[in-house]
Structure 1
Amino acid sequence: MPSSILYLPLALSFIRAPCFLFGWLWLLLEIRIVSWCFISVFGTFRVWLASR
């Protein structure tokens, strides 16, 4: 019984590490998507202003 209690935090850390990595990757991807959308909208707005 005590050995399983010792293994529990280790198992939790093994489960948490991929989630943590995936969270960071998702955050970076989200930042890239948002910045890309912002750049495209800004570029379209600039072209629209220039064509007026």
Structure 2
Amino acid sequence: MQQASFRRLLLLSGIWGCYLVGAICGSALEQRMALTALVFPLCVLAVLIVIDVF
């Protein structure tokens, strides 16, 4: 039971860590590149949509 709880903790910590890194990188890119900073996330989203459709 403790191992399952620990694995869940690692998963949730990883998700929160990704949100934190994404927020920091996103704000830094937005300051440097303005609207061009959205190109990479939009491309990733488009690829994921295509993968989901097929």
TM-score in terms of structure 2 length: 0.59
Q: What is the 5 A alignment of 1:1-52?
A: 18-51=1-34
| Paired residue total | 34
Which ranges of structure 2 fall in alignment gaps of 5 or more residues? Answer: 35-54
Instruction: Using the TM superposition, give the Cα deviation of residue 50 of structure 1 relative to its aligned residue in structure 2, in angstroms.
Output: 1.8
Unaligned runs of 5+ in 1: 1-17
* Larger Rg computed on CA atoms: 1
Using the alignment, how far apart are the partners of 1:33 and 1:45 within structure 2?
Answer: 18
What TM-score do you get using the length of structure 1 for normalisation?
0.61
> Partners of 1:37 and 1:49 in 2: how far apart?
19
